Chains A and B, each alone.
Chain A
Amino acid sequence: MKKLLGVVLILVLAVPLYAEIRLGALFAVTGPASFLGLPEKQTLEMLVEEINKEGGIAGEKVKLFLYDTKGLDTEARKKFIRLVKKDKVDAVIGPTRSGSTLAIKELAERYKTPLLSCAASKRIVQPLNKYVFKSPQSDTHAVGKIYNFLRKKGKSKVAIITAQNGFGDSGRTELLELAEEYGMKIVADEKFRDTDKDMTSQLTKISETNPDAIICWGVGPAPALVAKNARQLGLESMLIMSHGVASKKFIELAGEAAEGIILPAGRLLVADRLDKDSKYRSVLLKYKEAYEKRYDSSVSTFGGHAYDAFMMFKYGIEKGGKEADKMISAIENRGPFIGTAGEFNITATDHNGLDKSAFVMLKIHNGDWELIN
């Protein structure tokens, strides 16, 4: 009798452990990349809550295990191992930063756990790792979009100024590599740090080369300083920024200096201004409205990356189940679908599935975004 009771007790205890989907998440909620990580965390928490209210995925509730990487690669590694070994998660969403993702890329393979990264670098999916996906657009796409735009305007003399972090380095590499293909000539190649407070030295050097356009690649407050300093020095070249500044916060920081800046960005920022029959409109507006209502702050494309990653995960579980290999092959065989970052077309050889069309070119005008062609 006692034995039987024991067995029953174990079964009762074991059932809740198995009747749930365990989802891990790693975001840089604090630290210098926190303005990326925070919307991602909030988005994911919101989605998990919503889905559990609707009864979970395929009848099972989702349990979220979320850790803060503080933007540190070592922390990301530690927490990933914890997620896999202790929390026994079925898949992991994140980390926020490219560097952190690259630091755990091989761990995903070693522990056979699907990793759905929210970071941009194309090295996350190239070379391809069976277990690693990513939801944001690659820098290659942004650079292509910018160079295309410049070519159409008949401009070719380009000066670049890039941040000294994973995002800036990756952007710089792409800018240099693709220049020739699009007929661009890089006349200056300057750098800055996230913590720099004054960029006039670099910009003065740039202005001596008299470029048609200055391309600034960075995130956070530093690009706003670049904009301000460029205005102060009276530079007349066209100022182009990366999708890293695609948030209202940037316009707020740069103030008047933001006026006229051109950048590639996902459609999320201009969701309500897209054509009524645009295939992106309904997905974007649904996320935007839910997020803004819940957190009372304006939506950013970064939270969108977490949204897209979660949608991949959800589909993988629905169609493939919790086993890693089946989940992965479900995601790979899904066919085209619309996310906040654009139209995904994930295949067994392309674990990002986005192309240049994921970006649109925006201009900052009167403190708001304006679509340009």
Chain B
Amino acid sequence: MQFFYSGITSGSIFALVALGFNIIYNTTGIINFAQGEFVMIGGMLIYTLLSIYGLPFLIAAPLALMAALILGAIFERVFIKSVRSPNEIKLITITIAASIILRGLGMVIWGRNSLSVDAYVPYKILELPAGTLTSNSLLVIIVSLITAFSLSLFFKRSSLGKAFRACYDDKIAAGICGVDVSKIRMLAFAIAALLGVIAGIVTTPITYVTYTDGIMTGLKGFAAAILGGLGSFWGGVAGGLLLGIFEGFFASVFPSGYKDAFAFLVILAVLFLRPKGLFGKKKAERL
């Protein structure tokens, strides 16, 4: 059972990252490979606000989230919008370049050490049947679920959310219907950055943060998004959790040295066998 609990914890993080991938994919059709870097920056921001400026968590967290929205918007304006004759391959390549730039900036600003912050909730070990879970892990799980739930509500119910989905289905048609496609795009990046920063904030007390963290986080989140089906919200969540749990069990059965390889096996297997993912849906759909 311990493998299951551990899996859910890391799975919730993957899920948050996968959601970030999905939002951008849903509105622009591209994969943002800098998503992992947003998580790293989230951890760094909360470290700066809490440990360097000594702010209480209740002020630091909203500040970090606001910074995330701004960062995401700037990211879109600087890296994505300014591209002439954009196509998907170009834009995806640009997100990879941007991730390298962000990583470099992270190193220059915050240095090369692993940084840690104190836990937000008192450290307790919860005894569960055949295993344990820490209070911090529980926090991660709860925050991910709440975030996924509110996002799904936002996209299903609010009119702005509908505009997001319209943009993915047909940009031109959406534009004709009075949707400001460019603004939606910027918002999508802002929300994706927000999700990254949320993930960064909740995981930093457990796993620390280093400037290179974005790579692995991004790849695992991507694997989760692929597993669940690109573009599907609950698919992203399920993909994240499944990947986390599989990984835990994988390490328990096979030599633990190959644990990471599993995420990449998942990407390959899904792309070969079921390209739309476990919970993916066809693109055409009535809104």
Contact = CB atoms under 8 A, between A and B. Distances in A.
Is B one of A's binding partners?
A: yes
Interface of A: 30, 32, 34-35, 38, 164, 190-193, 195-198, 200-202, 204-205, 220-221, 224-225, 228, 232-234, 249, 252-253, 255-256
A193 B259 contact: yes
Contact of A198 (B132, B207, B252): B207
B248 interface: yes
B203 A197 contact: yes
Given A35-B112, A205-B256, A224-B114, 17 more contacts: A34-B112, A164-B257, A191-B257, A192-B256, A193-B260, A200-B2, A200-B3, A200-B5, A201-B247, A201-B251, A204-B6, A204-B131, A220-B114, A225-B207, A225-B208, A234-B132, A249-B114
Interface stretch (B86-94, B184-192, B210-218, B230-238): B210-218
Contact of A195 (B132, B213, B255, B257): B213
A30 B251 contact: no
A204 B216 contact: no
Query: Which residue, B216, B259, B260, has most C-beta atoms of chain A within 10 A?
Result: B259
A201 B248 contact: yes
Contacts of B252: 201, 204-205
- Majority DSSP secondary structure for residues of A touching B: helix
Contact of A197 (B207, B212, B215): B207
A220 B115 CA distance: 11
Given A204-B2, A220-B114, A232-B125, A253 B257 contact: no
- Majority DSSP secondary structure for residues of B touching A: helix
B216 A195 contact: yes
B23 to A, nearest CB: 23
A32 B208 CA distance: 14
12 contacts: A195-B215, A197-B207, A198-B207, A200-B3, A201-B2, A204-B252, A205-B252, A205-B256, A221-B114, A234-B125, A249-B113, A249-B114
Contacts of A198: 6, 9-10, 207, 248
A30 B216 contact: no
B134 interface: yes
A200 B259 contact: no
A221 B112 CA distance: 12
A192 to B, nearest CB: 7
Contacts of B48: none
Contacts of A32: 212
Interface residues of B, number: 36
B107 interface: yes
Contacts of B259: 192-193, 196, 201
B206 interface: yes
A205 B256 CA distance: 10
B152 interface: no
Contact of A200 (B6, B113, B249): B6
A232 B134 CA distance: 7
Closest 8 CB pairs of A and B: A201-B251, A221-B114, A191-B257, A34-B112, A200-B6, A197-B207, A204-B2, A195-B216
A196 B220 CA distance: 11
Contacts of B210: 221
Contacts of B123: 256
A220 B211 CA distance: 13
B116 interface: yes
B9 to A, nearest CB: 7
A228 B137 CA distance: 12
A204 B206 contact: no
B277 to A, nearest CB: 24
A255 B134 CA distance: 15
B171 to A, nearest CB: 37
A35 B113 CA distance: 7
Interface in B241-287: 247-249, 251-252, 255-257, 259-260
A54 B212 CA distance: 41
Contacts of A220: 114
Nearest to B212: A32
Contacts of B131: 204
Contact of B3 (A201, A224, A225): A201
Nearest to B251: A201
A233 B3 CA distance: 11
Contacts of B249: 201
Contacts of B113: 35, 249
A272 to B, nearest CB: 24
Contacts of A255: 116
A205 B253 CA distance: 9
Nearest to A33: B112
B256 A253 contact: no
Query: Which residue, B13, B107, B125, B207, has most C-beta atoms of chain A within 10 A?
Result: B207
A233 B132 contact: yes
B116 A252 contact: yes
A202 B251 contact: yes
A247 B206 CA distance: 20
Query: Which residue, A190, A197, A256, has most C-beta atoms of chain B within 10 A?
Result: A197
Contacts of B132: 232-234
A192 B255 CA distance: 10
Contacts of B212: 32, 195
A35 B251 CA distance: 29
Given A197-B207, A198-B10, A202-B251, A233 B2 contact: yes
B207 A30 contact: no
Contacts of A253: 114, 116, 208
